[in-house]
Amino acid sequence: MNFGYARVSKEQQSLDVQIQKLKEAGCEEIFSEKASGAKDDRKQLQELLNKLRAGDTVCVVRLDRLGRRMIKLASLINELHKKGVQFISLENNIDTTTPMGMLLFNICAAFSQMERELIKERVAAGVAAARAKGRTGGRPKSLDKKGIDKLIRLKNSGEFSVKQICEMMNISKSVYYRNINSAKRS
């Protein structure tokens, strides 16, 4: 079965042109929605993916209708391929039902993999540079015993609001409440 997927980012945009092109391309059932391509929780796309069976074809007008990032696109199209589902992007001339289309997809997937590796390298270099400067990852350490004692004294004095105590001790409200609750339990 030939399925179409159409998406626009904003509520005020129209899906009509995409739907018309998908019908002209022979799509028997079209899933459409108004949602950002950056979002992962697109209900219609998920419904389409759940409905697909081997031998089906998914068609979009342009690749960016399926997703914004090449990594996500390549991963999604690869999942379709593993299920035995073909993929067609009308305006990008990608058609995995043909050898040339598969070649184009594999080139895109290779660039996506390279992008993923470059991101890993940049992150590792950034972490190494931060460590060299004495910084570590993760959330800031909680208060030590002296800090907790001071926090409890300020709270019990009744003179200060939570906001004032947080400002005086240079901590967030979540650190405040985590330490107060921890002190109550012990």
Tell which residue, 53, 104, 107, 117, has the closest CA to residue 82.
53
At residue 121's C-alpha, the angle toward residues 116 and 122, to 5°, is 100
Say if residues 33 and 44 touch (Cβ distance below 8 Å): yes
> Is 89 assigned a catalytic role?
no
CB within 8 Å of 127: residues ≥ 6 apart: 137
Tell which residue, 50, 45, 8, 10, has the closest CA to residue 30.
45
Active-site pick, 9, 75, 157, 182: 9
Phi, psi of 19 (to 5 degrees): -60, -40
Enumerate the active-site residues.
9
